[in-house]
Chain A
């Protein structure tokens, strides 16, 4: 089946930028998502990008998509302690009926 891979852990200092990376194998991926999960809570959609885009910026968040390498990244500028959470990359294809394939999640720890 299709696969989505993420590194397990990232630690940064408050105020620095964080970059969380994700690779996927499905060449028919149409939508790519970043979800955030805070402790004891469900997942919340942070941002998403269509496969015909290279970049999307939303306030402190920048998503970069390299379709050739099937690589997706999430950059968080001026990282705050409140950004500490698990971040999940997910993808779906147009004909996949809105079924998402998730990566294993990257735990971001922000040190003061």
Chain B
């Protein structure tokens, strides 16, 4: 069955370290998204991509970067992790306009 996976599921890191969170989908969806979920804020969009080599900044992109070298993967990199980036991160994918976004299981990141 097609699916969307995230790894790792849990990560603890130290301030200043570079961290990469993986997202992989097997639906061949063009659209991929990264969100962070924090209490009181719901889900906020970090970066998104509409296809290979396409990346765009979302609402809360500072301190994060993404790259899209193939259809299946959109890794999210924290260049220099900060405690404010402690959060639960969700990846999602969709096809076309208005299409349902399918979410991964999430990665819980703690920055000490």
A residues contacting B by CB (< 8 A) are: 1, 4, 30-31, 33, 35, 40-45, 48, 88, 92, 94, 97-100, 102-105
Contact = CB atoms under 8 A, between A and B. Distances in A.
Contact of B97 (A45, A94, A103): A94
Contacts of A44: 103
Contact of A42 (B45, B50, B97, B106): B106
Contacts, number: 59
Interface in B29-62: 31, 33, 35, 40-45, 48, 50, 58-59
Contact of B50 (A31, A45, A97): A97
Interface residues of B, number: 27
B42 A41 contact: no
B98 A98 contact: yes
A81 B47 CA distance: 35
A103 B42 contact: yes
A30 B59 CA distance: 20
Contacts of B44: 102
Interface in B94-110: 94, 96-106
B45 A41 contact: no
A45 B99 CA distance: 11
Contacts of B40: 104
Contacts of B106: 40-42
A31 B71 CA distance: 25
